[in-house]
Amino acid sequence: MFFGPLDLAALAFFVIAWIVYAILLEWTSFGANGLNGRIDRYREVWFRRTLAREMRMVDMQIMLALQSGTAFFASTSLIAIGGALGLLRTTEQIVELLSGLPFGVPTSREQWEAKTIGLAVILVYAFFKFAWSYRLYNYVAIMLGAMPPPAEKDTPEAEAHVVRTSRIFRSAGRHFNRGQRAFFFALAYLGWFVHPVLLIAATAAVLIVMLLRQFASAPLHALQDRE
């Protein structure tokens, strides 16, 4: 067998934890009350208030900041992909190093390369999410520029424009969150290079941290206090 039962169990736990967390956060009413869900509702509030403003330079500056942050993570993803692929060039040395660790498990060249390619796949996924999010933020900026003037803020066209823009904006934020989620789980995935039990422990730790940030963090309490 290419991977032993413990490796397969750890990998299954990693994949299931990622999928369950994504479903919980994006497709359930419980997730809608989390930090991301509440911020999503403020995206539409922002654009409704933008309609009433004659000068919208501040709004465009905020959009530029969001785009810059997304571009940074997209660039970081490319660097990380290069680093992951670079590990394939030093397989023999790293396998020898890991086999000497107190809690390490013997790893063949094929297993190491498979794990490394898996890490690269996660980082490629993150890059595509960040790149698409950046593109969507560009679309939002265009929609913001096309927003009706304040004199037309109560018209059906203005209402439709806010709804359309908010939907694209929410999609941009959702893809950005998915990219960051991939980064967090990639950190947990690194535990597999040492021991499958460490992959399970690291995945559980990342999952707990993300759940606490979404449903028990100070920013969430701040939003709840004002609703």
Query: Cα torsion at 41, 43, 49, 55 (round to 10°)?
Result: 170
pLDDT band of residue 226 (cuts 50, 70, 90) is low
Give the mean model confidence (pLDDT) for residues 199-225: 93
Concatenated DSSP letters of 56-120: -HHHHHHHHHHHHHHHHHHHHHHHHHHHHHHGGGGHHHHHHHHHTSTT-----HHHHHHHHHHHH
Concatenated DSSP letters of 15-41: HHHHHHHHHHHHHSHHHHTSHHHHHHH
Tell me whether residue 216 is in a domain: no
For the ranges 27-36, 102-111, 185-194, the lowest mean pLDDT is seen at: 102-111
Could you tell me if 194 and 98 are in contact, meaning their C-beta atoms sit under 8 angstroms apart? yes
Tell me whether residue 63 is in a domain: yes
129 Cβ contact partners less than 8 Å away, ≥ 6 residues apart: 175, 176, 178, 179, 182
When the pLDDT of each residue in the chain is averaged and rounded to a whole number, the result is 90
pLDDT given for residue 162 in this prediction:
93
3-state helix, strand, coil in the chain (%, to 5): 85, 0, 15
Give the mean model confidence (pLDDT) for residues 121-128: 97
Give the mean model confidence (pLDDT) for residues 78-88: 89
CA atoms within 13 A on the CB side of 71: 9
Taking the whole predicted model, whether its pTM rises above 0.95 is answered as no
Give the mean model confidence (pLDDT) for residues 100-121: 79
Tell me whether residue 123 is in a domain: yes
pLDDT above 60: residue 5: yes
- Measured CA to CA, the distance from residue 32 to residue 30 in angstroms comes to 5
Tell me whether residue 198 is in a domain: no
Give the mean model confidence (pLDDT) for residues 107-127: 90
Tell me whether residue 25 is in a domain: no
How many domains are there within the chain? 1
Closest C-alpha among 174, 163, 184, 162 to residue 137: 174
180 Cβ contact partners less than 8 Å away, ≥ 6 residues apart: 73, 126
pLDDT given for residue 193 in this prediction:
86
Tell me whether residue 170 is in a domain: yes
42-60 per-position pLDDT tens digit: 999 999 999 988 888 889 9
Q: Give percent above pLDDT 70 in the chain.
A: 91
pLDDT given for residue 108 in this prediction:
74
Tell me whether residue 70 is in a domain: yes
pLDDT above 90: residue 8: yes
48 Cβ contact partners less than 8 Å away, ≥ 6 residues apart: 162
Tell me whether residue 205 is in a domain: no
pLDDT band of residue 135 (cuts 50, 70, 90) is very high
Give the mean model confidence (pLDDT) for residues 102-117: 77
Q: What residue numbers bound the domain in which 86 lies?
A: 57-185
